[in-house]
Amino acid sequence: MEIGLHSVFYGFNYTLFMKQLSLGPMEKMTKEEIAGLVQQGKMLPLMEEFYTIQGEGFHKGTAAYFVRIGGCDVGCHWCDVKESWDAELHPPTDTAIIVDNATKHSDVIVVTGGEPLTWDMTQLTMGLKEKNVQTHIETSGAYPLTGTWDWICLSPKKIKLPQTEVYKKAHELKMIIYNKSDFDFAEEQASLVGAECILYLQPEWSVRDKVVPLIVEYVMQHPKWKVSLQTHKYLNIP
């Protein structure tokens, strides 16, 4: 199966990678060999990883270890992690190392991006499940669903709509509200997810003062929806 942007790693900054990361015997690998491991999901472009409190959606308030994978071509203009877009900036990291680091801190692992489904998540989630931890993903659903997930947070974007399978398997639908037209898009997307999927409307952070009153009014008129806030930003944590 072809997953997203694999070809980008055939041109990644190999010199920068070697300066950033010491992999013992892997230091002698060519960039093509590393790209092959990325394509298989045995290595992933790791942007950052951190232990914090989940700030959004159903699991808000829950301690969790976040793994942010680089690479995204969806290109939301209001994305608050644009530095994650270019996978070439983030060193391909052995998936086993990512698993070991994550499971030292928490039994809830949230894989986010970027767009993590750009890459094959099978190896990562296999390793995590072997350690008996909960696997959560935050995704736009723009690429085929890979990996084994206990919780799928789907946040569709108009630029590149989700794959059909992701709609069917999403546990929560998180729609970002930037302006009034986004309510119509939210309803369109809600009609495509399963009956048990929890529906959230979340204000885009930069316009929160303007759109929060609109969201509150909308949810009161359409109570199938719930309000989601980026509580981690209010708490001033990652």
Residue 236 neighbours by CB distance under 10 Å: 6
Query: Has residue 19 got a pLDDT over 80?
Result: no
Domain of 212, CATH number, reads 3.20.20.70
CA distances from 39 to 46, 91, 187 (A): 14, 14, 35
Q: Report the alpha-carbon distance of residue 166 to residue 155 in Å, rounded.
A: 10
94 within some domain:
yes
Per residue in 25-66, pLDDT tens? 556 788 899 999 999 999 999 999 999 999 999 999 999 999
Contact 138, 115 (CB under 8 A): no
Total structural domains in the chain? Answer: 1
pLDDT band (50, 70, 90) for residue 147? very high
Instruction: Find the range with the poorest average confidence among 5-9, 10-14, 129-133.
Output: 5-9
Q: Are strands 63-69 and 43-53 parallel, antiparallel or unpaired?
A: antiparallel
Per residue in 149-184, pLDDT tens? 999 999 999 999 999 999 999 999 999 999 999 999
**What pLDDT, on a 0 to 100 scale, did the predictor assign at position 27?**
64
116 within some domain:
yes
**What pLDDT, on a 0 to 100 scale, did the predictor assign at position 88?**
85
Per residue in 206-224, pLDDT tens? 999 999 999 999 999 999 9
> 164 is in which domain, residue-wise?
6-234
Please give the model's pTM, rounded to 2 decimal places.
Answer: 0.87
**What pLDDT, on a 0 to 100 scale, did the predictor assign at position 82?**
81
25 within some domain:
yes
226 within some domain:
yes
Contact 67, 104 (CB under 8 A): no
| Phi, psi values for residue 229, rounded to 5° | -120, 155
1 within some domain:
no
**What pLDDT, on a 0 to 100 scale, did the predictor assign at position 26?**
57
